[in-house]
Structure 1
């Protein structure tokens, strides 16, 4: 899987717990915290991550985001 990028400003919506959980479960997975991903409209309302340079994954809660990412990882 490509690198997963997280917006630090989105951590308040719950993506921080997803980052920490995936880091523990998949230590070899490439993850990076960025100050801003440039998707502020989505980021201000939902949990969001970027996979690679273009693919955005959005979910209403951290639990749903985690499930989507875990499914992608395998």
Structure 2
């Protein structure tokens, strides 16, 4: 599933990936059209929506690099 996010200079898509345990990995793809992509993984007890993760995604976006920030299943 993918859903467009609001208020971004580049398209952002909400991506939901189910695993075999019926858990969901939920993430935001910042799609700049670059050949490279950076996978942003947060630490324990954090989330993809924390200021540091969002700012890092936007900094990469400003450099023309796509990124995917996500929450691990059962976390975030």
How high is the TM-score relative to the length of structure 1? Answer: 0.37
Which protein is richer in strand relative to its size? 2
| Higher normalized contact order (CA 8 Å, seq sep 6+, divided by chain length) | 1
Bigger Rg, which one: 2
How high is the TM-score relative to the length of structure 2? Answer: 0.36
Which protein is richer in helix relative to its size? 1
